[in-house]
Amino acid sequence: MVNRKILLCVSGGIAVYKAVALVSKLSQAGAAVKVIMTESARQFVQPLSFQVMSRNDVYFDTFDEKDSSVIAHIDLADWADLIIVAPATANVIGKLANGIGDDMVTTTLLAATAPIWVAPAMNVHMYDHPAVKRNIQQLHEDGVQFIEPSEGFLACGYVGKGRLEEPEKIVELVSDHFTRPKALAGKKVVVTAGPTRERIDPVRFLTNFSSGKMGYAMARAAAEMGAETILISGPVSLQVPKGVKRISVESAEDMLNAVKTEYPDADIVIKTAAVADYRPIHAHSQKMKKQAGGSTIELERTVDILQTLGQEKTHQILIGFAAETNDVAHYAKDKLARKNADYIIANDVSEAGSGFESDSNRVTVYGRNGFERIFDMLPKEQLAQQLLGLIVEREDLHDS
């Protein structure tokens, strides 16, 4: 933490008082902290409080250039190693998600290239509003990391999710971010993500509900741990994580060929993609026209990519995912054995808040020799970090 440069963006809410404590604790840990406040934040706490705790000027006016040799919001964006928005109101989350830059905080965030962490704090019903959830989802896709609010008694009198995470916990997360070992430096990690599409004709195809979120989270975590990361992705609209090379594919056959090209020198292969099990035997070159009565499409099996990789495995650590709706443990253990995988990460996609298209997941990891580890519901970004941390520990990759 010593000499790490942290820019704290403070928006208006009663939790601003926690942001003062956060600056104090970050400074005590050795970090250099600068603060930008919105106009609403200054209704709760005066800039002087942050100035005393940070021993730096506090910024709140886009047009107040404290140093005429630089443009303040650009200079601050370039200065930071990490940017934290805490507390983050529904208002500032909405602005950032939609690219609005109408004050010092939002213009600086738009100019930033450093990682951005957002720590929401608001009424439980506001946090659950469709518009807020939509904006949070957009920021997830833009690569913003969230510090999930905790549950408890809120200032408005409600009890529920919406409390700004405690300063001690945020400092712990920041410390972990800067001290996390690059355990996968020198390693090549191949991740598959998203659905595949199997064409019926030029306008129709067979596919599934996979959003690619878990795979992209795994790729981001691998890159952050220092790995050369190759992301082989079906058709999704997610932003490619920083430091990750994306190879775009469409069909199961496309994905198979791409994976086999990268497989020989890969160290870890993570198969999160939901690959189609079947494809039409005949893909029509022209659009099929409606006819009276029913219609039948003959299907054939696609090549099982995970099983193929298991058969060809030499030194690779092979990790598969199992999306099930019943008998999860049985199917996962069977898949582990039949496909010669090292780990199967299984989840029940019928569970609310877990699986396809969700931002969170609850999984169980099954490994060789009866290994089993349960991970409770977590945001997929955090879960991905913990899953890769587990693999590093079990495979003793620290010093290899």
Q: How far is CA 276 from CA 194, 213, 255, 329, in A?
A: 11, 17, 11, 22
According to the model, what pLDDT value does residue 217 have? 92
Which residue ranges make up each domain of the chain?
A: 5-179, 188-280+297-395
- What pLDDT, in 10s, does the model give residues 65-102? 778 788 889 999 999 999 999 999 999 999 999 999 99
pLDDT for residue 361 is more than 90:
no
- 188-280+297-395 sits in which CATH class? alpha beta
Does the annotation list 335 as a binding residue? yes
Residues 32, 80: Cα–Cα separation, whole Å: 9
Q: How large is the C-alpha radius of gyration of the chain?
A: 24
At 174 the three-state DSSP class reads helix
CATH superfamily of the domain spanning 5-179: Flavin prenyltransferase-like (3.40.50.1950)
Does the annotation list 277 as a binding residue? yes
Burial annotation 268-284 (CB, 10 A radius, 16+ → b, else e): bbbbbbbbbeebbeeee
pLDDT for residue 400 is more than 60:
no
Does the annotation list 18 as a binding residue? no
What percent of the chain stands above pLDDT 70?
95
Residues 390, 213: Cα–Cα separation, whole Å: 20
pTM above 0.75, yes or no: no
Does the annotation list 321 as a binding residue? yes
Active site residues: 156
- What pLDDT, in 10s, does the model give residues 312-344? 999 999 999 988 888 888 999 999 999 999 999
- What pLDDT, in 10s, does the model give residues 222-250? 998 889 999 999 999 888 887 899 999 99
pLDDT band at 42 (very low <50, low <70, confident <90, very high): very high
